[in-house]
Structure 1
Amino acid sequence: MLASGSVLAETVLRVGTWLPPTNAQNAVVWPTWAKWVEEATEGRVKVTIENTSGHPKTLFQAVEDGVYDASFSFNGYVPGQFTLPQIVELPGLGAGAEASSVALWRVYTSRLAKANEFEGLELIGMFTHGPGQIHTREPISSLADLKGKKIRVGGGVQTTLGERMEVTPVGAPAPKVYEMLQQGVIDGVFLPVMEQKVLRLNEVTKYLTVLPDGMYMGAFSIFINPDFMDSLSEQDRAAILSVSGEKLSAMAGRAWDAGDQEGYAAAEAAGVTINRVQPGSPMAVEFEKLTAGMDQQWIDSVKDRGVDAAAALAELREIARNYQAPVAK
């Protein structure tokens, strides 16, 4: 009777997720956070993880509607709605995913959240993948070689980069990329190096072009249903928040950073040609010229949000570039 009473008292927190099981988010981030939540609530809240095959852009609405209690998605999949998180995607950040994720969380929550872009949801984490690079079926010797090529573009700052490169953009969620490359629907893709392993791009792209600071960072949000949080005791709500926020954001970024290292290893093992573009080289200079003015373009695009975008951008870059990961105890 005591055992059944314990089960009845348990609250289940349903997480909707996507991407392959081997992706860092599903292999590391969600299981780690689930363990943290269960420990912090002393077992009163149990996290279950459910895979969805739908487009990840629908997860924002699915959590708001209570289909899932929590989830994550790439902000760029919903054009025009989440413009402020693009602050971390702008070229030239020069930091890894953990540093960028912490910087995004701190600056978004302190300076940008008042714009209420995530109305109907409660943010519990924000993170980025590692620097986006260029994966192609054929070699490129300059960015001009991409003109007219069919390139899968995920949204956000990638869209602006694609426009400036004059590629033929093709929209699709990341899990569809392997099939599109295999069938010749696209000639290449902008994604972090992790995907050489996770999405098996090392089987369908034989050339990887790595720019010094990457092309961009991809911004993701982790969110939870406010009604679910309100249904909890104050103690359990506080417990969940104590293992979320910056702690969750840093852990996610760290996991995605580690995924990039595995991606490089997979690419090398498969014989993918990796062109590591050196700072000051013709292609690096070409990229700098191509991206000139993008900071101001983004600042102008968010003028209606009622935030000091320029100050937020300067603070985010300072945090990311000076970030030092806490020493593990």
Structure 2
Amino acid sequence: MKRRTIMKTMAAAVLASGLAPGLAAAQEVTLRLHQFLPPPATVPKHIIKPWAARIEEATGGKVKFEHYDAMALGGKPPELMDQAIDGVADVIMTVVGYTPGRFPKTEVFELPFMMTNPVATAKAFQELVETDLQDGEYKDVKVLGAWVHGPGVIHADRPIETVEDMEGLKVRGPTRVINDMLKELGATPIGMPLPAIPEALSKGVVGGTVIPWEVTPAIKLAELVHNHTEFTGDEALYTATIVMVMNKDSYAKLPDDIRAAIDAESGQKLAEFAAQVMWDHDKPGRDIAVKAGNTIIQLSPEQVERFKAASQPVIDRWVAEMDAKGIDGKALIAQAKALIKKHGG
């Protein structure tokens, strides 16, 4: 075969692969990113994929992220953290509380009425990760970002205007702490990951759920329930903690320039960006419910205080549980509140 024919054959093979010769040579690393939300949801569409694209651009195409949404690599949402540890995925995003009791210090940010400003709370969470939790309860992974969502809202098949209205209502909750709060408020909590909510509501397994407005369009919640209870005042009813973490070996073996590019887009930058994007997307979710003619209930300050009082035993129990683990629960609450205030909350 003549040299010209050989070169044509090689060029055709490269083009058939869909890669230009320069790009084929430049790419060095492929990272599998696994998470539980559908592609149109706020977090994958407006947070994770833009974050990954910035890193790909910064490295000149040396790294490529393969996105596996909605548990496309298999398993269930509570398994995501172990998938990162075991290397099933290189990077995962998950709600920390999907693995109850495993990350006890993180739970401090999920306590009732702990969160004020979600961006400030996210930055507080990220700072606690960097100064304590990375070497403690997250020692088996590399934390790329830690954040929280916007104010939690009660969405139900009946109006919730007082604490008494919660009595006997089966409510989906995302985490151990939040389920304990729902129980204390008189509801029957049923824990399940977010993707299970639509089926549970449509089949009557639950009559309500607590989630922020931001994610409601992804599961068409305004079509499933028609009453939405918001909490006025400076503190939110609750929030949930979210992390994006990387397999430690995958992170360690990255070329220095790629690791630096990932670091530059992670940490506090990612925490602030993710929390702000989720908070910004609360309004579009709420607007859908308003347009549908659903009932939006805003609790009076007096009713909010009654919910706070009813939730206090949850905080007291959590402090006792932390003390039993050798963690000073009251000191951790004070530290979390101080960090939130430090970051503008």
Same topology, TM > 0.5: yes
Residue among 218, 224, 244 paired with 2:246: 224
Large movers: runs of 4+ above 6 Å: none
Residue among 132, 144, 155 paired with 2:175: 155
Partner Cα distance (2:282, 2:110) in 1: 17
- Counterpart of 1:66? 87
Give yes or no for contact 2:112–2:178 (8 Å, CA) kept in 1.
no
- Counterpart of 1:91? 112
Give 1:194-273 correspondences, 5 Å limit: 194-212=214-232, 213-273=235-295
Residue among 98, 108, 118 paired with 2:138: 118
SS of residue in 2 equivalent to 1:194: helix
Give yes or no for contact 1:40–1:240 (8 Å, CA) kept in 2.
no
Give yes or no for contact 1:107–1:312 (8 Å, CA) kept in 2.
no
Task: Tell me the TM-score normalised to structure 1 length.
Answer: 0.90
Q: Deviations over 1:9-45 (max 9, x none)?
A: 5211110122122221111111121122113323211
> What is the CA distance between 1:211 and its match in structure 2?
1.3
> What is the CA distance between 1:103 and its match in structure 2?
1.0
Residue among 25, 37, 42 paired with 2:60: 42
Residue among 95, 115, 123 paired with 1:102: 123
Alignment-mate amino acid for residue 135 of structure 1: H
Give yes or no for contact 2:26–2:62 (8 Å, CA) kept in 1.
yes
SS of residue in 1 equivalent to 2:182: helix
Give 1:296-307 correspondences, 5 Å limit: 296-303=316-323
Residue among 31, 43, 55 paired with 2:49: 31
Give yes or no for contact 2:33–2:68 (8 Å, CA) kept in 1.
yes
SS of residue in 2 equivalent to 1:291: helix
Structure 1 unaligned blocks of 5 or more: none
SS of residue in 1 equivalent to 2:132: helix
Structure 2 unaligned blocks of 5 or more: 1-10, 15-19
> What is the CA distance between 1:312 and its match in structure 2?
3.8
SS of residue in 2 equivalent to 1:131: coil
Cα RMSD between the aligned structures? 2.2
> What is the CA distance between 1:316 and its match in structure 2?
2.7
Give yes or no for contact 2:163–2:307 (8 Å, CA) kept in 1.
yes
Alignment-mate amino acid for residue 256 of structure 2: E
Q: Does 1:175 align with 2:192?
A: no
Residue among 162, 176, 185 paired with 1:165: 185
Cα gap change, 1:16 to 1:112, in 2 (>3 Å): closer
Partner Cα distance (1:43, 1:298) in 2: 47
Give yes or no for contact 2:90–2:247 (8 Å, CA) kept in 1.
yes
Alignment-mate amino acid for residue 57 of structure 2: E
Alignment-mate amino acid for residue 241 of structure 2: A
Give yes or no for contact 2:26–2:61 (8 Å, CA) kept in 1.
no
> What is the CA distance between 1:144 and its match in structure 2?
1.7
- Counterpart of 1:12? 30
SS of residue in 2 equivalent to 1:130: coil
Partner Cα distance (1:229, 1:112) in 2: 18
Deviates more, 1:20-29 or 1:39-48: 39-48
Q: Deviations over 1:244-284 (max 9, x none)?
A: 111111111111101211111111111110111122x2x21
Partner Cα distance (2:132, 2:31) in 1: 29
Partner Cα distance (2:150, 2:248) in 1: 30
- Counterpart of 2:153? 133
> What is the CA distance between 1:188 and its match in structure 2?
0.5
Percent identical residues: 28
Partner Cα distance (1:22, 1:308) in 2: 41
Give yes or no for contact 2:119–2:276 (8 Å, CA) kept in 1.
yes
Give yes or no for contact 1:75–1:156 (8 Å, CA) kept in 2.
no
Alignment-mate amino acid for residue 244 of structure 1: S
Partner Cα distance (1:21, 1:96) in 2: 27
Task: Tell me the TM-score normalised to structure 2 length.
Answer: 0.86
SS of residue in 1 equivalent to 2:237: coil
Give yes or no for contact 2:160–2:297 (8 Å, CA) kept in 1.
no
Alignment-mate amino acid for residue 254 of structure 1: Q
- Counterpart of 2:98? 77
Partner Cα distance (2:230, 2:329) in 1: 29
Deviates more, 1:308-317 or 1:151-160: 308-317
Cα gap change, 1:270 to 1:243, in 2 (>3 Å): same
Q: Deviations over 1:168-211 (max 9, x none)?
A: 22222111111211222211011112233222110011000111
Aligned residues: 322
